[in-house]
């Protein structure tokens, strides 16, 4: 097998982090947790495994400028902008074409840009095991997160009963992928010990994933052919992407490949993990005051508990006599929301996007 590569998918909108997260500056370009943008943290976590020349970032055209600013230490050609979003199967196919043009025998990991992982050494160790498994046999490896609660906001992966050994670690055949469950089902998954959260972390060889695309997503495979041909001839990628990408089939990699393939295995993770999907998740990563308030920026809480208060810039935000609120102030917009309604921010954005001057706020 060839060398290892990393492909980071950085195209999400981070809508539940509005108003700080915007179309051109979404969650992964912000220091939501820590002092650096989440994308920067993701790149830095994988640098001990692969050189920067082997790290690629696939983003959207609207985010390209921001991503390049954050990834200025990567080679310029390693940041690729999709002209339009066509979901994760197209992004994976594009990644396979790019890695394959450089190294036909290459093995690459596909990783989200916006997850929070504090234990970098355990993460790197797990990633190395996943690479070893993908090099050892023609499998598609997913890294499964051991659930700590009966979460209803994640998809799950059910493992088979027969483990395989990769070094000292066990990996399992994947029995099935399941969608986000209701609470009763999630409790059953947690109790069984056979289910993992699907974190969207995958490792496979170019040949294995391209074979799966050809078999299970032939329309996508045909659409990718001009991209592969252009790369094989050493042509610039941007013109062919603008022409071809809008015509590609729009489907997730889970539906297109993983749920149909019989060679998928799961590696149970050993590292801490959080996808920080909405504002309440941020509170888990900061030390609260004695009343349980988490505050960042120029903020103050008086006679209140359990609040999340954020101020971008020098504007002072004060909260008095209320509990369990999210208050986020930016120069363009301010959000006030009960913590248990945080998932409704995405619905609110639909109305914001309908405003005549929506671009000011989104």
Kindly report, residue by residue over 38-62, the tens digit of the pLDDT. Answer: 999 999 999 999 999 999 999 999 9
- In which band, very low, low, confident or very high, does the pLDDT at 161 lie, cut at 50, 70 and 90? confident
Annotate 25-60 with b (16+ C-beta within 10 A) or e (fewer): bbbbbbebbeeebbbbbbbebbeebbeeebbbbbbb
| Confidence check: pLDDT of 283 > 90 | no
pLDDT at 14: 86
User: In degrees to the nearest 10, what's the CA dihedral of 70, 74, 80, 86?
Assistant: -60
What pTM does this model have? Answer: 0.94
The domains of the chain are located at 4-268, 279-360
pLDDT at 182 over 90: yes
Sequence-distant (≥ 6) Cβ neighbours of residue 191 within 8 angstroms: none
pLDDT band at 12 (very low <50, low <70, confident <90, very high): confident
pLDDT per residue over 84-116, tens digit each? 999 999 999 999 999 999 999 999 999 999 999
Distance from C-alpha of 34 to C-alpha of 320, rounded to nearest angstrom = 27
CA distance 301 to 327: 11
DSSP state of 234: T
How large is the average pLDDT for residues 264-288? 93
Per-residue pLDDT tens over the stretch 117-147? 999 999 999 999 999 999 999 999 999 999 9
| The pLDDT of residue 1 | 67
| Residue keyed to tokens 């799950």 | 156
Contacts of 340 (CB under 8 A, 6+ apart): 324
CATH of the structural domain 4-268, one choice from 3.40.50.12170, 3.90.550.10, 2.70.210.12, 3.30.420.10: 3.90.550.10
């Amino acid at each position: 097998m060839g060398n290892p590569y990393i492909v980071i998918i950085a195209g999400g909108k981070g809508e539940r982090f509005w108003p700080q997260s915007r179309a051109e500056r979404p969650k992964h370009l912000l220091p939501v947790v820590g002092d650096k943008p989440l994308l920067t943290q993701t790149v830095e976590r994988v640098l001990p495994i692969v050189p920067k020349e082997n790290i690629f970032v696939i983003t959207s055209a609207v985010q390209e400028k921001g991503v390049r600013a954050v990834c200025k230490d990567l080679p310029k050609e390693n940041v690729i902008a999709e002209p339009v979003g066509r979901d994760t199967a197209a992004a994976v196919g594009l990644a396979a074409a790019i890695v394959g043009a450089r190294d036909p025998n290459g093995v690459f990991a596909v990783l989200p840009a916006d997850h929070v992982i504090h234990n970098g050494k355990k993460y790197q160790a797990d990633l190395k095991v996943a690479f070893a498994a993908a090099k050892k046999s023609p499998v598609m490896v997913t890294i499964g997160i051991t659930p700590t609660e009966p979460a209803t906001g994640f998809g799950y992966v059910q493992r088979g009963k027969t483990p395989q050994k990769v070094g000292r670690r066990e990996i399992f055949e994947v029995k099935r992928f399941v969608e986000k469950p209701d609470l009763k089902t999630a409790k059953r998954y947690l109790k069984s010990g056979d289910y993992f959260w699907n974190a969207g972390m995958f490792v496979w060889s170019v040949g294995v994933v391209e074979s799966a695309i050809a078999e299970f997503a032939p329309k996508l495979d045909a659409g990718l052919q001009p991209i592969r041909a252009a790369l094989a001839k050493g042509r610039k990628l941007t013109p062919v992407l603008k022409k071809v990408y809008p015509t590609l089939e729009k489907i997730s990699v889970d539906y297109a490949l993983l749920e149909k393939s019989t060679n998928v295995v799961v590696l149970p993770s050993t590292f801490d993990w959080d996808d920080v999907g909405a504002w309440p998740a941020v509170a888990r990563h900061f030390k609260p005051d004695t009343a349980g308030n988490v505050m960042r920026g120029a903020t103050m809480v008086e006679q209140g508990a359990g609040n999340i208060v954020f101020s971008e810039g020098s504007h002072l935000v004060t909260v008095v006599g209320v509990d369990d609120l999210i208050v986020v102030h930016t120069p363009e917009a301010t959000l006030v929301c009960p913590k248990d309604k945080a998932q409704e921010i995405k619905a609110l954005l639909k109305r914001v996007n309908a405003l005549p001057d929506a671009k000011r706020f989104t």
